Amino acid sequence: MIKKVNWDEVPTEQVTPKMQRKLVYGDKVMVAKMRFKDGFLVPLHSHVNEQVTQVLSGTIRFWFGENKEKVVDLHAGDVVVIPANLPHEALMIGDVEEIDTWSPIREDWLDGTDDYLRSND
């Protein structure tokens, strides 16, 4: 089934006071358009989903690896592909707008078990 949507029509979920997201997904892929306030930290985590992050505005500092051994700053226009199961952490530097894509879809984001994000402020 073909699904056509406009981001303006997708409901916004206020995950924390510093994070909001909109989700569009099918059977095998999920896209999230997100806004973060300056200083929001996504704690070190990993998942079975391959992830593509596109920064629209602001800067995201990523740390990759179990010991956060690789540091990468992404600015507006930058895209990073994160392999499945690779531990990563991210800090928002300034207010950030970005789009993430995952395959398979993030079931934890749909069933509300994404506590690693919700406990962050």
Written in H, E and C, the secondary structure of 30-93 is EEEEEEECCCCEEEEECCCCEEEEEEEEEEEEEEECCCCCEEEEECCCCEEEECCCCCEEEEEE
pTM: 0.92
Ramachandran region, residue 87 (left: φ > 0; alpha: ψ -120 to 50; beta: rest): beta
> What backbone phi and psi angles, to 5 degrees, belong to 6?
-115, 135
pLDDT tens digits, one per residue of 22-65 = 999 999 999 999 999 999 999 999 999 999 999 999 999 999 99
Identify the CATH assignment for 28-116 out of 3.40.630.10, 2.40.170.20, 2.60.120.10, 3.40.50.720. Answer: 2.60.120.10
In this model, does residue 119 exceed pLDDT 80?
no
pLDDT bucket at 19, cuts 50 / 70 / 90: very high
Q: Work out the percent of the chain whose per-residue pLDDT is above 90.
A: 88
pLDDT of residue 40: 96
